Structure 1
Amino acid sequence: MAVTMPYGGWTALIDDIVGGRWSNPETGMLASVPYEKIVIEESLDGREAALVAGLELGDRYTVVADADTWDAMGSRVAKALGSLAPVDTVILEHPHADMANVADLSERLAGAEGVVAVGSGTINDLCKFVTGRTNRRYAVFGTAASMNGYTSTTASITLKSGLKVSLPSHAPSGFFIDLNVNAAAPAYLSAAGFADCLVRSVAQVDWWMSHRLIGSLYSKVPYIIQDADEQELNTRAKGIANGDIAANGYLHRVLTMCGLGVSFTGMSNHGSMGEHQVSHYIDCFAGEKHPGTLHGQQVGVATLSMARLQRLFLDSEKPPVIRPTKIDREGMNARMGHEIAAQCWQEIQPKAFDARAAAEINEKLADIWPTLRQELKAFALPVEDMEQLLRDAGGPMTSADLGLPVETYREALVHCREMRNRYAFLDIAADAGLLEDFAAGEV
């Protein structure tokens, strides 16, 4: 049976953006993004060499994979590239996207020319960051729709201190998706990617609120380019759990559009606000209690919590009332360690309000709340719909589903706002004295 795809193929609109033929509605200027080729097809079997050949990566290729992605597609890619030039291979053993693995891969790629990553989040981030440091071009064959970082210009790396951050990097020259390979990947990987897409609702609510209250930069472009595909994807949520090719195709389109959005804004706020802070906190500070779950799986659970928290405020005709920000620095030291706590303390100072600033926020909230509330409700998906979508996709719904102790999850909800200078409803709830009680009811 034929796979249903968008009119114009799986890279419709994406081709126009990459080719500089799409006009940014905010500026009226043609799009300019740092990519040369993005290809998403039902099958790329037999086309691997042709896809890479025109990228001018060098006279010798090094294919980077781990054991699973080598079996899924890496060996196939390496064999195909052998028709173009000599091929070396680097097989990483249970890699993590941290500075230790960056150092190891940097050494192993010291003499490499064209780097071709075959994998998903960790493999891509490591290859992206290592090649970006030395201004070497790279390409990636994605093997799972597990995250939206393929087309972003940042890499998620854990520093030596243990703090996970998004570091500036560069884009792959070529990004290639074989949907047959990706649909055959373990379903939990696609469910994690779906959760990273479900974020849109709560992230947009947080980001627009931040824009209206404290003047944060806001752009509608990332939402414009992914809106139609988000709707199509949501109708296919059950297909994510069943390995459906069309569902994975729309999933990759939304993930790709989200990554491309960074090219227009220079930031990831459109898809990463309060809910991502919860996941980052778990990754950084859960320690031995961390169940080994994927970032996207944690984001999905946190997205549902954020949707419930936002609804508490949006259901009320009365505006929130905040007090001066209180953050226990000694508590931060105890939870994070002195080095990370000091770094985070400096990071969050712009959103720590004294009495005067809190009064100004309250005055603004009193003035604009009726309008702001309606604006935010227009962005929000109903919580019950989001729960059903994530359930249909096969994603974890609670901390128990993650295998994470509930007290650790609640700690993340309460304290993750201490990590990053992104103003979210977590901050409003904390400054209104409501966050701890809310978190105590989350499971």
Structure 2
Amino acid sequence: MGLAEIDSRNWTSLIDDIVTGDFYDAEAGKKVSVPYESIVFEQSLDGQEEALISRLKLGEKLAVVADENTYDVLGGRVARALKRIGSEPAIVLKNPHADMQTAAALADQLKGYDSVIAVGSGTLNDLCKYVTAQDGRRYAVFATAASMNGYTSTTASMTLDSGLKVSLPAQAPAGFFVDMAVSAAAPSHLTASGFADCIARSVAQVDWWMSHRVLGTLYRSVPFDIQIADEIELNKCAHLLPKGDIEATARLYRVLTLCGLGIGFIGMSNPGSMGEHQISHYIDCFAGARHPGTLHGQQVGVASLTMARIQQGLLAQDNAPVMKPTPIDTEGMKQRMGGAAADCIQQLQRKALDGDALDAVNQKLAALWPELQRELRQFMIPVEEMEKLLSDAGAPTTAADLGIDLEFYREAVRHGHEMRDRFSFVDIAANAGQLEQFIAIQT
């Protein structure tokens, strides 16, 4: 189905089948059941808010949660519309962060409410889905920008007290609602951030398939199968996103939503979060005062270009890289990571290779190499094409574009893989002594 055929009557085609349980997962050999009750995309939802929430039967006392920006663009309207069915005055958070301290404070504010209506994107959604998941209360979300793929995922990206940023189990929203006019009018850098989050699909899939083939880790194709047709169409209209084009925004929401649903199918974020996200997480966790305030998706887009250069550079080699024992610099990690070091050391130890295990992996990688090269090419977007797509969408493509010090960005590439036990091409490059040559070309 081409972009021209996507209109307000079928913006949620396929998505509707998944929500109603009518989508057949050929890989699993059965229809898929997912914990979502309603996903609605309309050009305008003004006047429909009460009906959409009433349908979900969320209880008698509803908490609308927004921040200062999202309250102005949509949260106030939602709170007023829901007043007749039990909404109290909105809880407006000031400059919230998706961390455990903020989550605890929000949990206190939400005591006595039957359910929660989040109005916002990444941080607001993560906080509300995480907090409500702790006590089983249901929640719904009204989007304000197509800035990330977490609206429909069942995990929340949260920063622990140690400073480590991780994906924690959360819950799906009972309802996910998009007013396209509101989202298309959002600041263009928010939309570009969402597009950059989509670009990560190609490098995440390459990493995940490699890990599956070389280490035998779980891999599922269905999260990619359901979104690839829309991804192709989205890439064709990337240049329209900075213009606030409604149809392009709808296509972006489809890809973001399908990505989140795919994560929901399997209960893990690997389909959209591998080596590229580890680089972004390192920036968020350890930049401190050096952090320029860039969004998650903006960082992921630049990190995806970095990962593509590493992946495609290694896969262009005639012979498989030969890895040495995984170096674990515990003292260096403590200096760089502070209170998060202990968790990171534990994560790195889980995937560290040495001895017989290392020999076995090297032998398998060498035997698979020609076949693996062929398999992975089908998932890739060439670096130059990826760079153009990001630029067309108005997204950053370099550390300088992000406003991040180049040496710190290179540090994030060098050490981001130490934060998580997911095995990526950065691990191969680091263990093979080739990572520095890729770091040197980062700008």
Classify the TM-score, shorter chain: over 0.9
Aligned to 2:292: 291
1:432 aligns to what?
Answer: 432
SS in 1 for 2:378: helix
Provide the TM-score with structure 2 as the length reference: 0.97
CA distance in 1, matches of 2:440, 2:186: 36
Q: State the partner residue of 2:37.
A: 36
What is the Cα deviation at residue 86 of structure 1? Answer: 4.3
AA of the residue aligned to 1:364:
K
Structure 2 SS opposite 1:64: strand
CA distance in 2, matches of 1:20, 1:194: 28
For residues 269-316 of structure 1, the C-alpha deviation after alignment (integer angstroms, 9 at most, x for no partner) is: 111100000000000001110111001100000000111111111212
Deviation of 1:83 after TM superposition, in Å, equals 2.8
* Counterpart contact for 2:167–2:269, Cα < 8 Å: no
**2:80 matched to 1:79?**
yes
Question: What does residue range 98-117 of structure 1 map to in structure 2 within 5 Å?
Answer: 98-117=99-118
Residue 188 of structure 1 aligns with an amino acid whose one-letter code is H
CA gap of 1:86–1:168, structure 2 versus 1, over 3 A, is closer
Task: Tell me how far apart the structure 2 counterparts of residues 3 and 49 of structure 1 sit (CA, whole Å).
Answer: 31
Instruction: Determine if contact 2:139/2:175 at 8 Å carries over to the other structure.
Output: yes
CA distance in structure 1 between the aligned counterparts of 2:295 and 2:53, rounded to whole angstroms: 29
Superposition map of 1:213-362 within 5 A:
213-337=214-338, 339-362=339-362
Q: Secondary structure at the match of 1:38?
A: strand
Q: How much does 1:223 deviate?
A: 0.6
Distance (Å, rounded) in 2 between the aligned partners of 1:322 and 1:376: 20
Once the two structures are superposed, what CA deviation does each residue of 1:137-194 show, in whole Å capped at 9, x if it has no partner? 1110000011111101111111111111111111111000011000000000010000
Percent identity over the alignment? 59
TM-score (norm 1): 0.97
Letter in 1 for 2:66: A
1:4-49 deviations in whole A, cap 9, x for unaligned? Answer: 5169611100000010001111121111111000111111111111
CA displacement 1:51-87 (0-9 Å, x = unmatched) = 0001111112211111111111111111111232343
**Cross-structure match for 1:188:** 189
Alignment: residue pair count:
441
Counterpart-to-counterpart distance in 2, 1:178 and 1:88: 21
More divergent stretch after superposition (26-35 vs 348-357): 348-357
Asked if the contact 2:241/2:393 (under 8 Å) is kept, the reply is yes
Do the aligned partners of 2:227 and 2:258 also contact (CA within 8 Å) in 1?
Answer: yes
Residue pairs, 1:78-157, within 5 angstroms: 78-157=79-158
The question of 1:408 aligning with 2:408 is answered yes
Aligned counterparts of 2:186 and 2:416: Cα–Cα separation in 1: 31
Q: Which amino acid is 1:129 matched to?
A: Y
Q: CA RMSD in A?
A: 1.3
- Equivalent residue of 2:149, what SS? coil
Partner residue in 2 for 1:423: 423
Query: In the alignment, which residue of structure 2 is the partner of 1:20?
Result: 21
The residue type paired with residue 241 of structure 2 is I
Equivalence for 2:373:
373
Distance in 2 between the 1:106 and 1:184 partners?
Answer: 31
1:383 aligns with 2:383: yes
The one-letter amino acid paired with 2:393 is: A
Aligned-partner SS, 2:176: strand
* Correspondence for 1:397: 397
Query: Are the aligned partners of 2:164 and 2:340 in contact in 1 as well (CA < 8 Å)?
Result: yes
Aligned to 2:48: 47
| 1:233-281 CA-partner distances (Å, limit 9, x unpaired) | 0001011111111111011111101111112222111111000000000
Distance between the aligned counterparts of 1:286 and 1:189, measured in 2?
A: 21
Report the secondary structure of 2:232's partner residue: helix
Look up the equivalent residue of 2:226 and give its one-letter code: I
Instruction: Identify unmatched segments of 5+ residues in structure 2.
Output: none
Partner of 1:363: 363
Is contact 1:100-1:160 (8 Å) kept?
yes
Partner of 1:158: 159
Q: How far 1:356 sits from its partner (Å)?
A: 2.2
Distance 2:252 2:30 in 1: 28
Question: Residue 191 of structure 2 contacts residue 241 of structure 2 at CA under 8 Å; is this kept in 1?
Answer: yes
SS of the aligned residue for 1:82 comes to helix
Alignment partner of 2:40: what SS?
A: strand
Contact kept? 2:8, 2:41, Cα under 8 Å: no
For 1:341 and 1:400, locate their aligned partners in 2 and report how far apart those are by CA, in whole Å: 27
Q: Distance in 2 between matches of 1:242 and 1:86?
A: 35
State how far apart, in whole Å, the 2-side matches of 1:364 and 1:3 are.
46
Equivalent residue letter for 1:36: E
Supply the distance in 1 between the matched residues of 2:359 and 2:131 (Cα, whole angstroms).
Answer: 46
Q: Distance in 1 between matches of 2:328 and 2:404?
A: 25
| 1:176 to 2:184 alignment | no
Distance 2:438 2:356 in 1: 26
In the TM superposition, residue 330 of structure 1 has moved relative to its aligned partner by 0.6
